Amino acid sequence: MTDELLMIPGPTNVPAAVLEALSRPSMFHRGEQFARCLQACTAGLKQVFQTRNEVLILTASGTGGVEAAIVNCLSPGDRVVAIRSGKFGERMAEIADRYGADVTTIDIEPGKAADPDQVREVVADVQPRALLFVQNETSTGVCQDVEQIAAAGRQYGALSIVDAVSGMGGIPVKTDAWGLDVVVAGSQKAFMLPPGLAFVAASDAAWQAAEEARMPRYYFDLPAARTALDKGQTPYTPNVNMFAALQAALDLMLAEGMENVYARHAMLGRACRAGIAALGLELLADPHYASDVVTAVKSPQQLDSTRLVAAVRARHNILISGGQGELKGRIFRIGHLGSCQLDDLVVTLQAVATELNELGYCCDPQEATAAAYAAA
């Protein structure tokens, strides 16, 4: 059996060089070799995050990083505004609520992006300590206008806490230039690694907030992580093999050049949307905010998308995703991020089109391919 092609929005396919680095003998986490690796990883992440501040690396998945972002900036009772753009926006609201924040939500229709003007109105009204939102909403294939949303919050003094787990590294996030306060990313997306590491960048304002923040935390305490980083360490035993792999992955990304990486993802986004349109299918996402790392497609003719996902897997060995929550059965999603190349996408569109025909939706696979190549 050959390996499955992962065309889901994470975990993504891990390049051989990264798998090789992952499988090297474990480093001692209090030694010089690890300190050098940690330094190289942090330096690389700062380039990807476009920040002069430290980027802390936590041994946890993205959700752990998002929790760290929230609990290090806030105290119980603090007012926050959370933009529920989909499953991951909901999760931010849940975490803040769980730790005792006073959460006001802005609910976004699936496939839409938050309107910065509406955000500004709510923030003006609520005067929150922080504004929580997702850059790239994996569940709906929407990439929000991070810069404008953060600016709307900043106008009223709200810290911006951004879940960029699924987009960072594939879609530009200008952490410093856009004045973002806390930005979280995860290893298993555009970084081409397995899951298991979260990356958190924090602004000076966020570090100040951390000094006063009284939500309890220990494993996810960011000041402890920053203090340890100054000594070339982490506060608790890190997944050293994942750090070695991260260094290898960052080497690949920076060798390609971040501008080229972003251009490749933009190309994949265009190609996927063109292919989907050529099949007569509709995007879930507002085209103006369609993500370049994941494309969510409405299932045609009441077809249960879980059947399509199963058929594409069973007969083509390609994994695509269905919908989550209320979107289950109603959409399918193609991830095109990380090490993904145009050919991976084209073969996926072929498989999707072929199985759609099998399931009774008539379309021409070759048109999808031609449209994808033309748009690339």
* Interface positions with a second copy (CB under 8 A): 3-4, 6, 8, 10-14, 19-20, 22-29, 31, 59-64, 67, 94-95, 98-100, 186, 188, 194-196, 215-220, 236-242, 319
Cβ 126 to a second copy, closest distance in Å? Answer: 22
Specify the residue, 117 or 343, whose C-beta has the smaller distance to a second copy.
Answer: 343
Cβ 352 to a second copy, closest distance in Å? Answer: 17
DSSP 288: G
CA distance 87 to 141: 11
Cβ 133 to a second copy, closest distance in Å? Answer: 17
Cβ 188 to a second copy, closest distance in Å? Answer: 6
Cβ 140 to a second copy, closest distance in Å? Answer: 17
Cβ 92 to a second copy, closest distance in Å? Answer: 10
DSSP 43: H
Cβ 91 to a second copy, closest distance in Å? Answer: 8
Specify the residue, 123 or 345, whose C-beta has the smaller distance to a second copy.
Answer: 345
Specify the residue, 49 or 99, whose C-beta has the smaller distance to a second copy.
Answer: 99
Specify the residue, 98 or 315, whose C-beta has the smaller distance to a second copy.
Answer: 98
CB 131 within 8 A of CB 150: yes
Which string of DSSP letters, residue by residue, matches 253-267?
HHHH-HHHHHHHHHH
Question: Residue holding tokens 């294939």?
Answer: 141
CB 130 within 8 A of CB 158: yes
**3-state SS class at 189:** coil
CA distance 371 to 376: 9
Specify the residue, 3 or 117, whose C-beta has the smaller distance to a second copy.
Answer: 3
Cβ 176 to a second copy, closest distance in Å? Answer: 27
Closest CA to 349 of 307, 306, 320: 320
Cβ 342 to a second copy, closest distance in Å? Answer: 20
CA distance 204 to 300: 48
Specify the residue, 29 or 330, whose C-beta has the smaller distance to a second copy.
Answer: 29
- Token reading at 140: 């709906």
CB 126 within 8 A of CB 78: no
Q: How many CB atoms lie within 10 A of CB 47?
A: 13
H helical segments located in the chain = 16-22, 32-49, 62-71, 87-98, 116-126, 146-154, 204-212, 222-230, 240-256, 258-278, 305-316, 342-358, 365-375
Specify the residue, 224 or 363, whose C-beta has the smaller distance to a second copy.
Answer: 224
CA distance 221 to 228: 11
CA distance 164 to 172: 10
Q: Which residues pair with 182 in a beta bridge?
A: 161, 202
Provide, for the chain, the percentages of residues in helix, strand and coil under a 3-state DSSP scheme, each rounded to the nearest 5: 45, 15, 40
Specify the residue, 288 or 315, whose C-beta has the smaller distance to a second copy.
Answer: 315
Closest CA to 129 of 83, 90, 82: 82
